Structure 1
Amino acid sequence: MADHDSIEPQKAQEKRQCPLDSAIPDHLRTERALPAKTPRDHQPPFPAYVARFPRETAGIVMAVIGAQYGSESMVDEASQAKLRSFVAGESAPPVADWASVVDDDGFYNVAVLAYWPSKEAHDDWAARSGFDAWWAGIEPGQYSHGWFLERLHCPIDRLETILSSCALAEGAANLRSSWSGQVRAHSYWGSMRDRLAAAQTDRLEGEPSGDGGSGGRQRTSGRVRVPGRKNLAVIRSGQDWSDTRGEERELYLKSIHPVLKAGMGFLSRDGHEVGCRSCRLMEIVKPETRKADTERTFGLAYFDDLASLESWVKDHPTHHAIFGSFTRLASKLQGDLALRLCHEVFVLNREDQEFVYIDCHPGTGMMGKCT
């Protein structure tokens, strides 16, 4: 999901066809006060790339806007049409990914993950589309279902991406101006931190966390706002197996995807043990039908800080199992894979986070472990 196990080789023979690129763009590079973790003489075993954003980009905004139902059969089309209307037309965000998940409490959640290239662009959308006025006007109990909004502003030096192929662009990478060449900063523990421009001079430390807990199991009414946390780490880690065939497809579906689901399930149920405050393994869906037939999934997880995410990646058996399953697939197929993988990581200032839940059950999102 992160660091060297988030991206596996697409074609091993592609490696080292050209000089390796820096994951941090030139205009964000500075003299390091904190040393990189790159091993001496490190040569990545396979190619990986990062998204390059326009030089003028100061930060991006991602908003997760969703509805929560007791079951999928309870979805109401009026609310879904309203949600679709906010991300369509002239004021539409440049990126809008629709996804769904049945959470640990059995509730069906469907959401749009929208992205903007600046806070100004987001604020203009929120006003012109009428979203902010509509959201502020929702009264608890007004709908037969819940609503949630998780809105994040990420300064560009606190964002990193990594992709196994330039054929895949997901989430923030769709705001890019170009791709990097093959980068050096991957396939070792700590490479995720090394790709963050802010980490050249900032340890990005979080704050002490409570013991978490599993959250409630009953639906409650009301509007709940969860405060932000210092240097909250957010990771969206995607898997696209739509182009796999034959043995690769069979191996992915039988040997890898179940292990991935188990790892994400641990983070969702028991993530407080490792500093994970929320995790959803979501399926990309079509907005009009909500059918999950795209053969694309992603994990969306919120960790206390970057160190907590790194610790789970490096030390926990659930992540070791994910890494091991990908490694075996790559080895068996000699690195010639149609499977596409990517992730994006944000490390957020406290004031750049907004978490609001209306009539959602108390285990939803950041409510579940908001101690």
Structure 2
Amino acid sequence: MESAIPEHLQTARTRHRRVGDDYAPPYPSFVARHKPSVTRVVMAYFGLQSRGAPPAAAEQALARLASDFATADGPSHWDRASYVDEAGFTNVVTVAYWDDRQIFDRWFPAARERWTGEQRTNNGFGTFIEALYPSVEGYETLLSSLGRPEGVAVLADGMSGEVLEHAYWGGMRDRIPLSQTSEMAPSGAPRAIRDGARIRIVPHDNLCLIRSGQDWGDTEAAERKMYLGDVEPVLREGMDFLRDQGRSIGCYANRYMAVVGRDGTTTEKSYGMSWWKSLSALERWAESHPTHVRIFGAAMKYLSTLGPAAKLRLYHEVTVARADEQLFEYVDCHPQTGMLNAVQTVEAA
């Protein structure tokens, strides 16, 4: 059993884990391991929003983005998902990952201008960029199985063995290296500033992002029926609560999306991603809110019934980012989109 925090990021604790060294998790889980030379990663979400199916110009913009990704300084990994949001708009969200901020900084300006800047072609759709640049001390991953990593874990050099810090309330925090010495509490409040056609969100310190995914592609008939019939509806109910009422508990915005292939076809994968005021707010929902208690109960019943035979793959990544590690900008998007939902008014630049 190893710690989720790699050796080179371990330090003398001033804040203690929620469990002791003799804790034994009831089932195995794993974390992604980067090379020690990796000090910062980039998670950049490029969103496209339209009323109804994306128009031809939007499809062209998506194709151009994929072409930009294929250039020398493009991301090491990217994937795409879609969903219909609370206002009835179709959103196509492409998330790209880098493990070198300097490479990203070379690539980003031209792509940004085409997506939300002066070179953007406004043909009946909105666009947005939501990006984080956390240090490796500021985020954690967790995967239920080895092989076929998702999200930022695809960039890793390898995977851990079985880790100690999981399957208890507080494990998410305990896996983040900064938690050894920092409370990671938020400070300040987000503001919106109009910058030409763009609306920029000026964020606050220690904003929290979670991406949490499911892959049922390997499941066979009985397990698939159990997941899609007993677990997924409860998960969707919780995701809808966060989307529609999340602000009351510190969730600024939530998207529950279907992953689509490079050719646009729907896959047997989904993920939820949400922006939170703080890690603490996310923890409180996870530990005690009825919607997550039901998700947790359905998942535990499913996993305890199937045991090691379960073929459902689960993963998540949780990031706590400083204000200077965040970028949010929106063009022609409705006011409930992403971090626009976190503010009441838009100031002039």
Q: TM-score range by the shorter chain?
A: over 0.9
The code of the aligned residue for 2:74 comes to: A
Are 2:27 and 1:31 aligned?
A: no
The code of the aligned residue for 2:126 comes to: G
Paired-residue identity, %: 39
2-side partners of 1:244 and 1:155: how far apart?
35
Aligned partner of 2:108 in structure 1 is 126
Aligned partner of 1:64 in structure 2 is 45
The code of the aligned residue for 1:159 comes to: Y
Tell me how far 1:46 sits from its aligned partner.
0.4
SS of the residue corresponding to residue 45 of structure 1 reads coil
The code of the aligned residue for 1:312 comes to: W
**Structure 1 residues 179 and 59: alpha-carbon distance in aligned structure 2, compared to 1, 3 A threshold:** same
Tell me how far 1:121 sits from its aligned partner.
1.6
Are 2:209 and 1:263 aligned?
A: no
Number of residue-to-residue matches in the alignment: 339
The answer (yes or no) to whether the contact 1:141–1:359 under 8 Å persists in 2 is no
The answer (yes or no) to whether the contact 1:140–1:358 under 8 Å persists in 2 is no
SS of the residue corresponding to residue 368 of structure 1 reads helix
Aligned pairs for 1:1-371 (under 5 A) are: 20-39=1-20, 41-72=22-53, 74=55, 76=57, 77-127=59-109, 130-135=110-115, 137-138=117-118, 142-207=122-187, 222-288=197-263, 290-292=264-266, 294-371=267-344
SS of the residue corresponding to residue 298 of structure 1 reads strand
Tell me how far 1:168 sits from its aligned partner.
3.2
Task: Please tell me the root mean square deviation across aligned C-alpha atoms, in Å.
Answer: 1.9
Which string of whole-angstrom CA distances, capped at 9 and with x for unpartnered residues, describes residues 133-153 of structure 1?
434643788331100100110
2-side partners of 1:137 and 1:40: how far apart?
51
The code of the aligned residue for 2:265 comes to: K
Between Structure 1 and Structure 2, the one with more strand by share is 2
1-side partners of 2:121 and 2:61: how far apart?
14
In the superposition, the TM-score normalised over structure 2's length comes to: 0.92
The answer (yes or no) to whether the contact 1:228–1:352 under 8 Å persists in 2 is no
1-side partners of 2:148 and 2:242: how far apart?
26
Kindly indicate whether structure 1 or structure 2 has the higher relative contact order, using CA contacts under 8 Å at least 6 residues apart: 1
- My pick for the range that moved more, 253-262 or 37-46, is 37-46
**Structure 1 residues 140 and 65: alpha-carbon distance in aligned structure 2, compared to 1, 3 A threshold:** closer
The code of the aligned residue for 2:326 comes to: Q
2-side partners of 1:97 and 1:166: how far apart?
19
Tell me how far 1:328 sits from its aligned partner.
0.9
2-side partners of 1:308 and 1:333: how far apart?
32
In the superposition, the TM-score normalised over structure 1's length comes to: 0.87
